[in-house]
Amino acid sequence: MTTTTTTRTPEPASFRDPEARVVYSADGEVLRELSARGREDWSALENARFFRRALEDGRIVATEEIEPGVLRHERLPFVSYPYEWPFEMLRDAALLQLELLDEALAEGFVLKDGSPYNVQWRGSEPVFVDVGSFERLRDGEPWAGYRQFCALFLYPLMLQAYRGVSPQPWLKGSLEGIEPAQARGLLPRFRRGVLTHVVLHDRLEAKHADRQRDVRSELRAAGFKKELIQANVRRLRKLVRRLSPKRGRSEWAGYREAAPYSDDDAERKERFVRAAGPARLAWDLGANDGRFSRALDAEYVLAVDGDERVVGDLYAALRGAGSKTILPLVVDLADASPARGWRGVERRRLEDRGQPDLVLCLALVHHLAIGRNVPFAELVGWLRSLGARLVIEFADRTDPMVTRLLATKREEAHESYGREQFEQALARGFEVERREQLGSGTRTLYLAKPTS
């Protein structure tokens, strides 16, 4: 099968690698156009044993050459970014990349870079997607991606492991990650790996910052060997594997046990969700432990929560179960992922990466409306913009959680918070098909479809 070039649309995030740029066909296929040099690397790569193994076991995205110099890749259900991953996902993505690099080096290949943006997910399974990043190793040259790996993988992981600081804001704030000089000021010097990969790294950069040097030629002349790269990669794998997240108290971990409604209410909610019908792509906003994500009749589910620990626990559970249909992400809906990068198109907003067919919004309205002061009209307007069917829950003013939230606010601050006002706002964007009051009497579920 061939696809004519006139119908191809470039992927905005792929322009930085002219040797292997990603484009999309008119019917949505993910293609990669190779330059002459890229074709030479591909011809060698497609016959490499490590590459064939990784394709077969799913660690590398499914790839085939459909015409000379054009590759076709498997299209994954949803694109996510490192600043939306909990610690455990970032660590597993780092380990996958180092594992593939180690195997590649043994057969004379290397990665051009060390970016977490080269990894995506089939649910809880990491998959390396940038086939164009593999190239033949040139004698005497170092791994060019080491600095990027440190800035975008290692330092963020160390920051949470050693300081208990979640790296998502850092990664969202800079697509280049954490610089060695920044990491040196943030991390404790005598913890594992900091002296080698942070302090010495920063010293070398400072020492040579003002010099015009051909480092590659110097290393080649000095007899630099690939075994040095392999040793460094293996040390990094060992270091990253040992890192574990340091976290403080989480208000939402264990929420199911402390939830302000009965087991019967939870079971009725689950039945209500199941009855919402099938979906290709569903979003579960405020997913917590993923109970209702699992209850959905959906081909693929985006399980979103703003609590990094909760999402980390959910990922670990899904990973342990081998789930490939639920993707857990850390997203604060009141400060969600913005458009980033060159001209704001390299990294897209959550809403621009795939339209859901069904959205769950359970036990969330009161947290946004009271906790984050989002008006009903704004919330409903945003949900309506998604163009999906909606399952939404409203908790009235007598609900224990609502009472607790209101206790921290001025008495007059949320006088308009009530069921009647919520239903009026909902009716401006949706047609309610079904409603059910839970046994507690303080919460109501709605199944609605967007108005035309």
Distance in angstroms (rounded) separating the CA atoms of residues 41 and 173: 34
The DSSP symbol for 6 reads G
Same domain, 153 and 213: yes
Pairing assessment for the beta strands 298-305 and 326-330 based on DSSP bridges? parallel
Residue 294 has pLDDT above 50, yes or no: yes
Mean pLDDT of 224-242: 93
pLDDT for 218: 54
| More confident site: 244 or 211 | 244
Do the strands 279-285 and 389-395 form a parallel or antiparallel pair, or are they unpaired?
unpaired
Q: Which residue in 334, 321, 248, 247 sits closest to 289, CA to CA?
A: 321
Same domain, 100 and 197: yes
Domain count, the chain: 3
Encoding tokens for residue 246?
Answer: 């340091």
Give the DSSP letter of residue 370: I
At 222 the pLDDT is 45
Q: Dig out the tokens for 134 from the structure.
A: 């593999």
Cβ-Cβ contacts under 8 Å for 442 (sequence gap 6 or more): 261, 395, 396, 398, 399, 400, 402
For the stretch 42-91, pLDDT in tens is 999 999 999 999 999 999 999 999 999 999 999 999 999 999 999 999 99
Answer yes or no: are the C-beta atoms of 119 and 128 closer than 8 Å: yes
Write down the mean pLDDT value for the chain.
Answer: 92
DSSP 252: S
User: pLDDT tier at 337 (50, 70, 90 boundaries)?
Assistant: very high
Q: Are 138 and 267 part of one and the same domain?
A: no
Predicted confidence (pLDDT) per residue in 173-210, tens digit: 999 999 999 999 999 999 999 999 999 898 988 877 66
Please state, in angstroms and as integers, the Cα–Cα distance from residue 289 to each residue in 11, 243, 313, 447, following that order: 34, 23, 8, 22
At 221 the pLDDT is 47
Element (H, E) at 303: strand 298-305
Same domain, residue pair 446 and 301: yes
Tokens (6 digits) for 328: 């857990």
Q: What is the mean pLDDT of residues 152-181?
A: 96
> Is the pLDDT assigned to residue 211 strictly greater than 70?
no
Q: Which amino acid is at 43?
A: S
Establish if 2 belongs to a structural domain. no
Task: Indicate whether 210 and 354 sit together in one domain.
Answer: no
**Has residue 248 been placed in a domain?**
no
- Map 125-171 to HEC letters: EEEECCHHHEEECCCCCCCCCHHHHHHHHHHHHHHHHHHCCCCHHHH
- Is the per-residue pLDDT at 214 higher than 60? no
* pLDDT exceeds cutoff 50 at 1: no
Please give the residue range of the domain that contains residue 43: 9-73
Query: Is residue 256 scored above 80 in pLDDT?
Result: no
Q: Using CA atoms, how far apart are residues 299 and 289, in angstroms rounded to an integer?
A: 19
3-class state of residue 44 by DSSP: helix
Residue 314 has pLDDT above 90, yes or no: yes
Residue 434, SS3? strand
Of 122-126, 153-157, 196-200, give the lowest mean pLDDT range. 196-200
Residue 1 included in any domain: no
Give the model's pLDDT for residue 364.
96
Examine residue 400 and state whether it is found in any structural domain, yes or no.
Answer: yes
3-23 pLDDT tens trace: 455 689 999 888 888 999 999
Indicate if 141 and 31 belong to the same structural domain.
no
The whole-model pTM stands at: 0.93
Last residue of a domain, one of 186, 218, 242: 242
Q: Is the pLDDT score of 437 beyond 70?
A: yes
Q: What is the pLDDT of residue 254?
A: 58
Q: Among 195, 220, 242, which residue terminates a domain?
A: 242
